[in-house]
A = this chain, B = another copy of it.
């Protein structure tokens, strides 16, 4: 048998553990993850959970990776069905809004940036790589919108990507603290101004 069967028992329970770990990390962050509490949550022993990852750091990296894959699957992937250019870009933002609504009580990727942006180590590197990757996807979608003539030809893709990201940070922030509805209104209004100011 090769290195991994398509869906062996090991992989299945590992997925179960990661699912619980992700839910916990949404509230307590990756630094708040404890193997004991996680084991209780999934109904396993501490050592049983531990054996699947080998170290707490590996567990945290796996949860971070799961978060990144879920984000991509929920925000980027469905938007790819839209035609290239502004429609796809707006679809990304729309799905990102939905993601923020579902993650009002905390987003693993965002809390991870707060937790690891000033440290060294594998988690820091993983967070930076993940954020840089997503920013790159954003810039790619923006560049396509420029190519299609949906945005001004002199658009600075990094600049616009930054502003889009900042608005979503605002949505997450205000949504978590003051309630999603008001935050959603402010963010949507800001986006209308944003698209208008970059239209050709």
Interface residues in chain A, defined as those with a beta carbon under 8 Å from any beta carbon in chain B: 26-29, 31-32, 104-106, 110-111, 113-115, 117-119, 127-128, 131-132, 156, 158-159, 162-163, 165-167, 169-171, 173-174, 176-178, 182-183, 186-187, 189-190, 193, 197
Q: Does A163 contact B170, Cβ atoms closer than 8 Å?
A: yes
Q: Please tell me which one of the listed residues B132, B159, B187, B193 contacts residue A189 in the complex, with CB atoms under 8 A apart.
A: B159
CA distance A183 to B166 in the complex (A): 11
Copies of this subunit: 2
B176 touches A118 (CB 8 A): yes
**Chain A binding site: helix, strand, loop or mixed by DSSP?**
helix
Question: Which partner residue on chain B sits nearest A112 by CB separation?
Answer: B114
A108 to chain B, nearest CB (A): 10
Q: Which chain B residues lie closer than 8 Å to A131 at the CB level?
A: 177-178
Q: Of A110, A111, A114, which is in contact with the most chain B CB atoms at under 10 Å from its CB?
A: A114
A31 neighbours in B (Cβ, 8 Å): 28-29, 31-32
